Amino acid sequence: MRVNRIKQCWQEKKTAINAWLTIPSSWTAELLAHQGYDSLTIDMQHGLIDYTTALSMLQAISTTETVPLVRVPWNEPGILMRILDAGAYGIICPMINNQAEAEAYVAACRYAPLGMRSYGPSRVVLYAGNDYLIHANDTVLLLAMIETREALENVDEIVSTEGLDGIYLGPADLSLSLGLKKIGDYQEPIMQEAIDRILESLRRQRKFGAAHATNPQDAVMLAERGFNMVTPAHDTALLEAGAKQALIQTRQWLSL
């Protein structure tokens, strides 16, 4: 079976650098897959991407060695199983608030006896190899999003879930849930405490941590704090910023 390069990366104590895909297009997915990120995450929750588009994006990413991850729209067995069959080599599941939710998530993604994932790995067998069934439970990466006050309080139980590889920190929802003014601002002391608490739980239980950033500065700060994967890039945000900047610059220089 094809190795999961993110897991390999972590075994080698390296920080994985991930980019976030929200544009529903196999073309932009293929374009970003060629930039050298360790992984790309197709965002089916807040991105504008449905199953059929996600499938085409998984194919596009598979033209390179970049690892295809998917953030699912919700902790629901149907979509979890289907996106794994379609070739996701890792899942980021939103809004895991307690151990019961974490266990339901993992059960849907692991074959028996660890879980209850239904067998029929259509496309992923082409990507992974014919021994997929044997190695899938060990190879596929499962991260639970910690992004509410409740999740933070239950972080130890969530992290301890058997079959779960680690967590993905969602700063926007976490700050909203914690009642903070600034959305997703890691500078807030309460956010820094949350980071401490999560990292401490991960280290104690030898699990992995990933965190959302949207810019290189935050990504580097998070990596230096100890997260194993950071996301400094978001396709829509990059395109918007670039287009805005080109227009402003042209207008400015023209008016000189």
**159 vs 46: CA distance, rounded Å:** 24
Interatomic CA distance for residues 19 and 64, integer angstroms:
14
Which residue of 5, 46, 197, 225 would you call a contact of a copy of itself, by CB under 8 A?
A: 46
Q: Contact between 176 and a copy of itself (CB under 8 A)?
A: yes
123 binds a copy of itself (CB under 8 A): yes
Binding span for a copy of itself by CB under 8 A among 2-10, 151-159, 186-194, 226-234: 226-234
Residue 192 CA to residue 90 CA, distance in Å, equals: 27
The closest alpha carbon to 139, from 249, 229, 7, 247, belongs to 7
Size of the site for a copy of itself (CB under 8 A): 90
User: Among 35, 138, 182, 193, which residue interacts with a copy of itself (rule: CB under 8 A)?
Assistant: 35
Phi and psi torsions of 253, nearest 5°: -65, -35
Nearer to a copy of itself, 36 or 162 (CB): 36
Catalytic residue among 46, 135, 212, 234: 46
Look up 34 and say whether it is catalytic. Answer: no
**Which residues within the stretch 152-171 sit at the binding site for a copy of itself (CB under 8 A)?**
none
Residue 253: exposure state from Cβ atoms within 10 A (0-12, 13-18, ≥19): exposed
Which one of residues 88, 195, 223, 229 is an interface residue with a copy of itself (CB under 8 A)? 223
Query: Which residues belong to the active site?
Result: 46
